């Protein structure tokens, strides 16, 4: 008797045939998302300000690189983009009291983290509507739902992103397009590492105390979120099986927002 062998796609290839655009995709949460979606079969485009890193990541994943300054929003206004999945992840942080907050830093954060997602969503929706399918996943934050001192620009931008995501969900529903936010607490990334010295100075404590006394004080689970944990949730929201999930905000904050 001859044994017949069959071949099939890997069990994880649930995004086979899909394309995904990930902003800030060369590091941190974006990199974890790019790796996760690629492992599940998606062809990823890594959009990042750092052209060299974007190319390296894209090559390692068999994807594409897009070197872009997303804070240059004027250049994004006439874009037309073709992708099945859009992950708005790029972001920066500035920490200062409102009365000392640099106005240009405020504007930069809002351009990058609110205006840019709007323009990218605007650019991908026509193609998604035409195909009758799309997944828009916005990397928000627990700070899209809660406030902390010294983060007026970041908190207000993330709150705005929450509203944008919900409006996108309502408009996209009849076209097969979902839009959701993912809301992690502090994630083990370079963005968080860079905050530690600033937070120590503002609160008058040693840098070694910042994670425990400032970053994790509201969380019930006393550790940082790992980028791969966020990527797993993002990947699920990108699936066909998440088609009834839209207009939602998924917290991954160790219980912070339960208070």
Using CA atoms, how far residue 105 sits from 59, 102, 205, 227, in Å, is 33, 5, 25, 26
List, in order, residues 6 or more apart from 49 with CB less than 8 Å away: 67, 68, 69, 70, 90
* Candidates 129, 133, 154, 250; catalytic one: 154
Work out the angle at residue 138's Cα, subtended by the Cα atoms of residues 37 and 109, and round it to the nearest 5 degrees: 125
**C-alpha angle 64-66-71 in degrees, rounded to nearest 5:** 155
Report the 10 Å Cβ neighbour count for 241: 9
Could you tell me the end-to-end alpha-carbon distance of the chain, in angstroms, rounded to an integer? 65
Active site residue 129: no
Q: State the catalytic residues.
A: 154
């Amino acid at each position: 008797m001859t044994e017949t062998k069959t071949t099939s796609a890997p069990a994880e290839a649930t995004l086979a045939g899909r394309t995904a655009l990930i902003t800030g995709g060369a590091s941190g949460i974006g990199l974890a998302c790019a790796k996760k979606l690629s492992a599940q079969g998606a062809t990823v485009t890594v959009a990042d300000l750092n052209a060299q890193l974007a190319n390296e990541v894209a090559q390692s994943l068999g994807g594409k690189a897009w070197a872009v300054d997303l804070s240059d929003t004027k250049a994004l206004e006439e874009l037309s983009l073709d992708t099945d999945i859009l992950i708005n992840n790029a972001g920066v942080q500035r920490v200062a009291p409102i009365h000392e907050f640099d106005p240009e830093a405020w504007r930069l954060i809002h351009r990058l983290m609110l205006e840019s997602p709007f323009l990218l969503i605007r650019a991908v929706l026509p193609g998604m509507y035409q195909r009758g399918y799309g997944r828009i996943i916005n990397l928000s934050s627990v700070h899209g739902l809660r406030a902390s001192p010294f983060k007026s620009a970041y908190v207000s931008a993330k709150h705005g992103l929450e509203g944008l995501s919900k409006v996108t969900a309502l408009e996209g529903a009849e076209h097969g397009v979902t839009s959701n936010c993912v809301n992690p607490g502090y994630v083990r990334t370079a963005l968080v590492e860079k905050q530690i010295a600033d937070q120590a100075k503002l609160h008058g404590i040693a840098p070694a105390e910042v994670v425990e006394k400032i970053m994790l004080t509201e969380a019930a689970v006393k550790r940082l979120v790992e980028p791969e944990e966020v990527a797993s949730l993002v990947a699920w929201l990108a699936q066909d099986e998440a088609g009834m999930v839209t207009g939602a905000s998924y917290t991954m904050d160790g219980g912070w927002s339960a208070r």
